[in-house]
Amino acid sequence: MPSSVTTEPAILDAMELTSDPELEVRFTETAHQILVDLVSGGAALGWVEPPSRDEVADLLGHIVSAVQAGDAALRAAYLDRRLVGLGYWLRYARPTHRPHADLEKIAVDAAAHGRGVGRALTTALIADAREAGIEVLTLDARGDNTNALRLYGSLGFTEYGRLPDFVAVGERRYDKVFCMLDFRRQS
Ligand SMILES: CC(C)(COP(=O)(O)OP(=O)(O)OC[C@H]1O[C@@H](n2cnc3c(N)ncnc32)[C@H](O)[C@@H]1OP(=O)(O)O)[C@@H](O)C(=O)NCCC(=O)NCCS
């Protein structure tokens, strides 16, 4: 874990997180708390009810295994030695989609919003994808998630489609917005 006090987020990768078993356990616990708090506050992260600790541990374990297989990237953001955010992408499993990956979750602790953490995490994950030779990095977002969509747009993602009123949260319906970053079209 970074040792100095800083106002810039320190971004760790999966190898750094798993190199210290104690750090890895603390990462899982705090990541679970961040996700629970965000989902409880209505964040659009794919859950309606806050995930259990086991569900988050299973998810993170799956991602770390995929990182080790070269099929994912996981990044964690620390501010002043405190975990404040995480994000990951996973390569598509379908054989015909293998050159591509999906940025599945970016989550920043609400208390740290607006301090550049989401931007730093997403920038690092884009760099990881480019380095891994990913051809197209996709993501989807709920249509009312304007902060996230603005962030992705500023980093080069473009909308390629949308399913109207597709995301169901109780009786409410929201558009599902599909975005992509095509590295083949970049110099
Ligand atoms: C979306 C999210 C990851 C952004 O993280 P963040 O650390 O607050 O974002 P940053 O401080 O890095 O800001 C990055 C950009 O996001 C947008 N943004 C973030 N907060 C914003 C706000 N309150 N108002 C307007 N735009 C905002 C801006 O475009 C900003 O660009 P700027 O740096 O040029 O101002 C964060 O709000 C979050 O975790 N939300 C809940 C979970 C979620 O919705 N994840 C995305 C699922 S698709």
What is the reported pLDDT for 186? 78
d(CA 74, CA 97): 20
Largest distance between two CA atoms of the chain = 47
Q: Which protein residue has the closest C-alpha to ligand 1 atom 4?
A: 118
Q: Which domain holds residue 138?
A: 10-185
In tens, the pLDDT along 109-122 reads 999 999 999 999 99
Q: What CATH number corresponds to the domain at position 111?
A: 3.40.630.30
Q: List residues near ligand 1 (CB under 6 A).
A: 38, 43-45, 106-108, 113-119, 141, 145, 147-148, 150-151, 154
Residue 4 pLDDT more than 70?
A: no
Give a yes or no: residue 76 inside a domain: yes
Atom 22, ligand 1: residue with shortest CA distance: 147
Report if residue 2 sits inside a domain. Answer: no
- Band of pLDDT at residue 3, cut at 50, 70 and 90: very low
C-alpha triplet 8, 81, 47: angle, nearest 5°:
90
Report yes or no on 14 lying in a domain.
yes
Q: What is the total count of domains within the chain? A: 1
